[in-house]
Amino acid sequence: MLLRFLLLTVLNLALAACSEPETALRIEGRTMGTFYAVTLADPFPGGEKALHQQVEARLAQISQEISTYDPNSVLSRFNRSPANTPFPIPALMARAVAQGITAGQTTHGLLDVTVGPLVNLWGFGPDKRPQHTPSDAEIAAARARVGIDKLHLTQGKEGALLSKSRTDLYLDLSTLGEGVGADAIAELLEQSGVHHYLVEIAGAVRSKGHNPNGAPWRIAIVDPSDKPGAFQAVVAPKEMAVSTAGSYRNYYELDGKRYSHIINPRTGKPITHRLVSATVILPTALEADAYDTALMVMGPEQALTFAQKNRLAVYLIVKTDRGFEARYTPQFTPYLVQ
Ligand code: FAD
């Protein structure tokens, strides 16, 4: 399960190779159906136990707000609420929805946080895997429920209000969850006076300062070939957030075909092109997590053109007849470690 989601990995943590600093602290756990890890080169007030408790509490709060896997989450209750009825939502969820809407507009609907009916139809949400390939009629029915134009976010005096123009609209923030979580834990650490940390929630990473060895944090983009220890590239994030999405970890085979969990909202079907992973570097993990999935929907050529046009720091891995090939924008170059 853990390996299924390993698209990025952290280097330079072989503490045994040097004298272990007293302040090195690392906790690991599970959240959002995947793993998290927090590594500090600073002490945490109250020590490891307090760090673990506070991180777990923050992640549990996020799940209570935005999980489609929890029928009692705020998001699940919004999904069951009637159309055209403003529904109060908490600040963190509002931030995620606002980012989803912005990225949806920038990518002309290729990133779409209302894609849930299609995600579920293809068996990548809380529902079970389908027994047969969805028919054109089933895809068309699910597609009719999708579109960010059916979702409206407003900021009132009392807080954020969310409404929808169809009762059966199904909001799915899963693509942003890891980014939301990494930013929230980074915020918690900053508020606790920690200045040297690295937070990983599966493919989303936030870091600051230096690692327990006193060296810059370094993150490897894993090679899709799955050769043990093989990396495509090593990145020094320089306090920026790094997020990777990939099509080669989360998929299943049905009727002899392989289906990835990333859905093109225009076709209503899982992507089929040769882009296997997209890594994005941006100031927040939430933004990076939104654009890595959008690039995966676009495919290799459109993703590179979009990244160049928007001057994004992006690293793509493309499957070719000769193996895997890296393509990246000039904005990514300063982060690459030679
Ligand atoms: P990403 O590339 O970041 O996102 C892909 C996911 O986004 C797809 O799986 C789909 O849900 C959605 N998606 C697909 N296409 C699009 C598109 N075009 N636009 C927008 N979104 C799209 N998983 C479990 O198995 N068990 C759990 O208990 C569980 N709990 C969760 C709790 C929370 C709070 C959240 C946010 C998620 C939870 N998940 C759970 C889902 C899981 O964490 C991942 O979000 C999911 O597996 C995909 O994430 P990823 O990083 O692998 O892929």
Distance CA 207, CA 39 (A): 9
Is 126 found in the same domain as 193?
no
What's the confidence (pLDDT) of residue 12?
Answer: 47
Is 191 found in the same domain as 168?
no
What's the confidence (pLDDT) of residue 20?
Answer: 43
Is 198 found in the same domain as 149?
no
Give the nearest ligand 1 atom to 110 CA: 18
What's the confidence (pLDDT) of residue 13?
Answer: 42
Query: For residue 232, which of 6, 35, 13 has the smallest C-alpha distance?
Result: 6
Phi and psi at residue 200, to the nearest 5°: -120, 125
Nearest CA to ligand 1 atom 23: 33
What's the confidence (pLDDT) of residue 100?
Answer: 98
Distance CA 291, CA 281 (A): 10
Is 280 found in the same domain as 215?
yes
Is 61 found in the same domain as 195?
yes
Give the nearest ligand 1 atom to 5 CA: 52
Distance 175 CA to ligand 1 centre (A): 5
Is 150 found in the same domain as 38?
no
Is 157 found in the same domain as 197?
no
Distance 88 CA to ligand 1 centre (A): 23
Distance 207 CA to ligand 1 centre (A): 22
Distance 24 CA to ligand 1 centre (A): 31
Is 22 found in the same domain as 147?
no
The structure's pTM equals 0.93
Distance 316 CA to ligand 1 centre (A): 20
What's the confidence (pLDDT) of residue 23?
Answer: 59
Nearest CA to ligand 1 atom 18: 111
What's the confidence (pLDDT) of residue 67?
Answer: 97
Nearest CA to ligand 1 atom 4: 175
What's the confidence (pLDDT) of residue 11?
Answer: 65
pLDDT digits (tens, 9 = 90+) for 227-257: 777 789 999 998 999 999 987 667 777 777 7
Distance CA 276, CA 247 (A): 5
Query: For residue 62, which of 249, 237, 286 has the smallest C-alpha distance?
Result: 286
pLDDT digits (tens, 9 = 90+) for 126-170: 877 777 889 999 999 999 999 999 999 999 888 999 999 999 999
Distance 66 CA to ligand 1 centre (A): 11
Q: Which of 116, 142, 172 is the last residue of a domain?
A: 172
Residue keyed to tokens 């990777």: 244
Give the nearest ligand 1 atom to 204 CA: 51
pLDDT digits (tens, 9 = 90+) for 23-36: 589 999 999 999 99
Nearest CA to ligand 1 atom 39: 32
Is 145 found in the same domain as 42?
no
Is 187 found in the same domain as 167?
no
Query: For residue 119, which of 270, 271, 290 has the smallest C-alpha distance?
Result: 270
Spell out, as residue ranges, where the chain has pLDDT lower than 70.
1-6, 10-23, 248-249
Burial pattern 224-255, b for ≥16 Cβ within 10 A else e, equals beeeeeeebbbbbbeebbbbbbbbbbeeeeee
The DSSP H or E segment spanning 15 is none
* Protein residues whose CB sits closer than 6 Å to any atom of ligand 1: 5, 32-34, 62-63, 66-67, 69, 111-113, 115, 119, 124-125, 172-175, 177-178, 202-203, 245, 250, 261-263, 265, 289, 293, 297
Q: Which of 148, 172, 196 is the last residue of a domain?
A: 172
Alpha helix locations (H) across 192-253? none
Distance CA 190, CA 58 (A): 14
Q: Total domain count for the chain?
A: 2
What's the confidence (pLDDT) of residue 157?
Answer: 83
Containing structural domain, residue 118? 74-172
Question: What single-letter DSSP state applies at residue 284?
Answer: S
Nearest CA to ligand 1 atom 7: 175
Mutate to test the pocket of ligand 1, among 32, 247, 297 (most ligand atoms within 8 A of CB): 32
Mutate to test the pocket of ligand 1, among 99, 118, 175 (most ligand atoms within 8 A of CB): 175
What's the confidence (pLDDT) of residue 19?
Answer: 40
Is 148 found in the same domain as 46?
no
Give the nearest ligand 1 atom to 73 CA: 34
CATH number for position 167: 1.10.3980.10
What's the confidence (pLDDT) of residue 259?
Answer: 83
Nearest CA to ligand 1 atom 46: 174
CATH number for position 206: 3.10.520.10
Is 197 found in the same domain as 58?
yes
Q: Which of 149, 172, 195 is the last residue of a domain?
A: 172
